[in-house]
Structure 1
Amino acid sequence: MSSPHPPSQPLLAVLWMMGALASFTSMAVAARELTQDLSVFQISFMRTVICLALLTPYAYKLGWQKMKTDRLKTHVGRNIIHFTGQFGWIYGVSILPLAAVFSLEFSAPIWTAILAALLLKERITRIRALSIALGFAGILVILRPGSDLMQPASFVVIGAAICFAFTYVFTRGLAATESAFKIIFYMNLIQFPIGLVLSVPVWITPGTEMLPFIAILGIGGITSHYSIARAMAHADAAVVSPLDFLRLPLVAVIGFLLYQEPWNPYVIIGGAITFSGNLLNILSEQKALKRRMRPEPTPPQT
């Protein structure tokens, strides 16, 4: 009998994660460049337009029967929160060093664990409590008293991480009845009118030099999540997740080379502490899952 799980292929997982890292860092640079001339609302709207242009042909191919949903209210609630988080992330990229934004964004899984306990009644185990404590410790290292990062923009990014945590919790509920493609499609479909209404009063027609950055932001929004999903399909989360931490030193190097952002060891250390909490939680959940999947011993024949 064949195994229900495909064999692990770490090399393919690494290659897909490299694609995810390239997407995330490219999006950060594109957002930084665009915020020099355009409002955050307009940037979010144009990102949605690109994503819809890429997703709509496949949605049309699937047909209305497969794309209709009975959970529109949940989709709307999820995406109002996600749009707010996206606004906070882009705003943070425009103000803070790129490495600081990514370090603070690593706290999203910590907030997810807290919200899952409050909203989904998931149990907070000792390991999960330790991972949450490490997450807060990492934030305190980054935003230590007297730090240049102790400013409103940092708390906007933390707010964005909390919004992303809310969307993860919503996604857990939606995933029971909705496909991943449908969730992503409705995300962009719902955020389209929100971004349009908010961006019209501050609209500036982008110049041709901005078009490549607009394209990168839109395409990266799809390829980043798709690459992570493909990486997870080729290896366990315990293998894939540590690779995600490479985003932090990579974006720190890019920030230094492109924008002369100084190297801040506290940001790297704090991000590493927060990420270690995330990884600890992932390893614990994987061990628990393997125990649940382990077959019961066959009682001896009498």
Structure 2
Amino acid sequence: MTRPNQDLTRAAMLMIAAGAAFALINIALQGATMIAGAASPSVTFWQYLIAAAIYLPWIWRNRTALFSTAHPGAHILRVALGAVGVQLWVAGLAHVPIWQAIALILLSPFFVTIGAALALGEKVTPTRWGAVLVGIVGGAVILEPWSDRFQLWALLPVAAAAFWAASSVVTKRLTDDDAPETVTIYLLLLLTPINLGLAFGVGPGLALPAAAIWMVAAAGLLTALAQHALVRAYSLADAAFLQPFDHLKLPLNVGLGALIFGFAPTGSMWLGTAIILAATFFLFHREARPLRRTALRGA
């Protein structure tokens, strides 16, 4: 029988592996969009189609989970919000240095707190509102709207964080009634058609430049592997324990971005990120209840 401390060690290693996979995914996505010139809606469609295809055997084994929910509309809303978040994230990577994008996505827990208060009626204490305010200040330090370096494209990762947070709020409500298998299978089955509609609705379609094909294929494969590692990690430990390991994705992304693209972060990134992380740890360790996540994530 596996001892609890062994479970925690495995969970931590799985979270680190997932963070490394996401860092490689972001490098591949930035290379496909910013360097190879692929349209971000097209890239997103193929990335998640490949990931879903890898999950087909699991989808088939759990197909009965489709009929075990009384909230199909909420599942559609959740996946639509997540899909928009993914689209905004990849669009941001097409224009924003990876260090800035990954630092700004750390704002997501603060949007979850706001959404839980507004949509779910959860009580938010003054100290939690204070942590949210501090986190937003950290985001402003990274964005530097007062500087001539500021660009509107930098707001795309912030918007992605907000949409992912909205999807997480719906997930919290769904998991009160539905099994994790039901939540996950709806995500896998709905994400591709939604991304397909966005690829033709706001993008040029599905075509990719030849130079981007291998990068998008790698991103799709790594997305499936990263999601599997996340699911296994959260099955072994709760979110409060795993959160510090999740934040290791920041130096991984910054380091790879600097190594491959030469994107060197500014001093404001480190200061703003330190402020965000301090507020995030406060939310998790003082107020937030442990969560087990069953959602496809980016970043």
User: One fold, TM greater than 0.5?
Assistant: yes
SS in 1 for 2:265: coil
Q: C-alpha offsets along residues 99-137 of structure 1, whole Å, 9 cap, x if unaligned?
A: 110111000010100110011111111331232122112
CA distance in 2, matches of 1:221, 1:22: 11
- Unpaired segments of 5 or more residues in structure 2? 291-299
- Provide the rounded CA distance (Å) in 2 between the counterparts of 1:149 and 1:104: 16
Q: Contact 1:131/1:278 (CA < 8 Å) preserved in 2?
A: yes
Give the aligned length.
284
Q: Does 1:22 align with 2:20?
A: yes
Q: Determine if contact 1:75/1:186 at 8 Å carries over to the other structure.
A: yes
Deviation at 1:77, TM superposition (A): 1.3
**Residues 100 and 269 of structure 2 are in contact (CA less than 8 Å); yes or no, is this contact kept in structure 1?**
yes
* 1:40 aligned partner: 40
Contact preservation (8 Å) 1:248, 1:268: no
Q: Distance in 2 between matches of 1:85 and 1:224?
A: 18
Provide the C-alpha distance between the structure 2 equivalents of 1:148 and 1:240, rounded to a whole number of angstroms: 37
Identical residues among aligned pairs (%): 25
AA partner of residue 34 (structure 1): A
1:185-233 Cα shifts (integer Å, max 9, x gaps): 3223223222223334623544665443223322333333432343344
TM-score, normalised on structure 1? 0.85
Per-residue CA deviation, residues 147-196 of structure 1 (Å, 9 max, x unaligned), is 35522111121111110110000101111233333323322322322222
In structure 1, how many angstroms separate the alpha carbons of the residues matched to 2:61 and 2:236? 27
Amino acid at match of 1:17: M
Q: Provide the rounded CA distance (Å) in 1 between the counterparts of 2:182 and 2:237.
A: 24
Superimposed CA distance per residue, residues 43-63 of structure 1 (whole angstroms, 9 cap, x where no aligned partner): 111122112212222221234
Aligned residue runs from structure 1 range 52-131, under 5 A = 52-63=52-63, 65-68=64-67, 69-131=69-131
RMSD: 2.4
Query: Distance in 1 between the 2:73 and 2:239 partners?
Result: 31
For the 8 Å contact 1:52–1:185, the answer to whether it is kept is no
Q: Does 1:255 align with 2:257?
A: yes
In the alignment, the residues of structure 2 paired with residue 109 and residue 251 of structure 1 have an alpha-carbon distance, to the nearest angstrom, of 19
Query: In structure 2, how many angstroms separate the alpha carbons of the residues matched to 1:56 and 1:100?
Result: 35
**1:264 Cα offset (Å):** 1.3
CA distance in 2, matches of 1:149, 1:127: 33
Contact 1:85 1:159 in 2 (8 A): yes
CA contact (8 A) 1:59 1:67 kept: no
> CA 1:249/1:147 → structure 2, altered by over 3 Å: closer, same or farther?
farther
Q: In 2, Cα distance between the equivalents of 1:6 and 1:122?
A: 35
State the structure with more CA Rg: 1
